[in-house]
Structure 1
Amino acid sequence: MIKVGTCGFCEARSKYFRDFDAVEVQQTFYRILQEKTLERWRKEAPEGFTFSIKAFQGVTHPANSPTWRRSNVKPGKDVGLLRPTSDVLHFWRVTLKEAETLGARFILIQLPKSFRESDESFANAEKFFEMIDRGNFEIAVELRGWSEKGIKRFVREFDVIDVTDPLVRIPLHTGDVSYYRLHGRYENGRIIYSHSYSDEELQKARERVIGWNRGESFVFFNNSDMCKDAKRFKTLLAG
């Protein structure tokens, strides 16, 4: 089974729920959402629809991250980078509550480049995952700038799903669920979100997602033309 969606609602929700099988909710990364908002989305979604939510940035991003400019919360100095601080653990509980309210299947932990491949990062992650309640959610982690060896160690030690771009590399976890994010193109280590995928790129992604599929795959587009490209990808899969 392969489900396709976008990172955030790329069109009116009523239409989105007709066009797609899943969504990765982005708002939960930037802001703490009202319970009634999440309850409404859950009620509007059709049966079998899959929600993934992006963990609040207080869990992952330090206070100097520019992403905080869009937040409705003022960060303390001890936020982010999976540090097992009271602030980070508090924001994880907030994320967990939102996931429960929404009826999500996944929580995505997207870590910034400042979460470097180091002994300190592994030590923080070890304490973080020991201390948190995972609920009944599958945890997907996107590590940026890490080696394949480091990613493989991380996802195995902490029993999480390795989030990758299928046009970049194969997932390194051993489970039956794959989680992909297609951000656009890459230049000198930077993501260029302003990108429309070519037919050849989408066909290559299709072949890899199908070829690597162990049971279930979730494919989320996060580029400037994500709505259009995700629909094209769905058509390719159907064909």
Structure 2
Amino acid sequence: MIHVGTCGFCESHAKYYRDFDAIEVQQTFYRILQEKTLERWRKEAPQDFTFAIKAFQGVTHPPNSPTWRRSNVKPGKDVGLLRPNSEVLHFWRLTLREAEILGARFVLIQLPRSFRESEESFTNAERFFEMAERGDFEIAVELRGWSEEGVKRFVREFGVIDVTDPLVRIPLHKGETNYYRLHGRYENGRIIYKHSYSDEELKKIRERVLGWNISESFVFFNNSDMCRDAKRFKAIL
């Protein structure tokens, strides 16, 4: 089973729920949302619709990240990077509460490049996951700039889903669910979000997702033309 969606609503909610069966909610990364907003989204969606939410940036991104400019929360000096302190854990609990209200299946932890592959990062992650509740949610983690060996160690030690781009590499976790994010193209290690996928790229994504599919896969487009590309991808599946 392959589910297709986008990272954020790319069209009106009513139309999106007709066109797709899953979404990765982006707003929860930038802002703490009102409970009534999440309750409305859950009520509007079909019963079998799947929500994933992106963990609030206070869990993952340090205060010098430009993403904080869009936030409705002022960051403390020690937020982000899975630091196992009271403020980061507070933001994690808020994220889980939002996931609970929304009836989400997944919580995505997208870590920035400043979360470097190092023993300090592993130590922070170890303490964070020891202290953080998981509820009934599946935790997916996207690591950027890490070696395959480092990613494999991380996902195995902490029991999380390895989030990948199928055009870049195979998922390295063990489990029945794969979670893919398609950001666009890459130049010198940088993501170029302004990108429309070619037919050949979409066919290659299809081939790899089907080939690596154990039981269930979620494919979320996050490029500038994500709505159109996600629909084109659905058409060729």
TM-score, normalization by structure 1: 0.99
Query: What pairs with 1:144-223 in structure 2 (closer than 5 Å)?
Result: 144-223=144-223
Which residue number in structure 2 is paired with residue 16 of structure 1?
16
2:122 aligned with 1:122: yes
SS at match of 2:52: strand
Which string of whole-angstrom CA distances, capped at 9 and with x for unpartnered residues, describes residues 132-156 of structure 1?
Answer: 1100000000000000000000000
Give the Å deviation of 1:47.
Answer: 1.7
Which residue number in structure 2 is paired with residue 69 of structure 1?
69
Paired AA for residue 121 in structure 1: S
Which string of whole-angstrom CA distances, capped at 9 and with x for unpartnered residues, describes residues 5-31 of structure 1?
Answer: 000000000000000010000000000
SS at match of 2:36: helix
Which residue number in structure 1 is paired with residue 233 of structure 2?
233
Paired AA for residue 225 in structure 2: D
SS at match of 1:152: helix
SS at match of 1:153: helix
2:47 aligned with 1:47: yes
Q: How many residues align?
A: 237
Give the Å deviation of 1:4.
Answer: 0.2
Paired AA for residue 234 in structure 1: K
CA distance in 2, matches of 1:65, 1:183: 19
CA distance in 1, matches of 2:7, 2:169: 20
CA distance in 1, matches of 2:215, 2:153: 22
SS at match of 1:17: helix
Which residue number in structure 1 is paired with residue 91 of structure 2?
91
CA distance in 1, matches of 2:145, 2:62: 17
Q: State the identity as a percent.
A: 84
Paired AA for residue 97 in structure 1: R
CA distance in 1, matches of 2:152, 2:95: 25
CA distance in 2, matches of 1:21, 1:180: 15
Structure 1 unmatched runs, 5+: none
Which residue number in structure 1 is paired with residue 104 of structure 2?
104
CA distance in 2, matches of 1:58, 1:210: 35
Which string of whole-angstrom CA distances, capped at 9 and with x for unpartnered residues, describes residues 110-136 of structure 1?
Answer: 000000000000000000000011000
SS at match of 2:141: strand
Paired AA for residue 132 in structure 2: I
CA distance in 1, matches of 2:77, 2:47: 42
Give the Å deviation of 1:218.
Answer: 0.1
List structure 1 runs of 4+ shifted beyond 6 angstroms.
none
CA distance in 1, matches of 2:193, 2:21: 23
CA distance in 1, matches of 2:91, 2:33: 12
Which string of whole-angstrom CA distances, capped at 9 and with x for unpartnered residues, describes residues 43-84 of structure 1?
Answer: 000121000000000000000000000000000001000000
SS at match of 1:134: coil
CA distance in 2, matches of 1:207, 1:48: 26
SS at match of 2:162: strand
User: Cα RMSD over matched residues?
Assistant: 0.3
Structure 2 unmatched runs, 5+: none
CA distance in 1, matches of 2:236, 2:219: 13
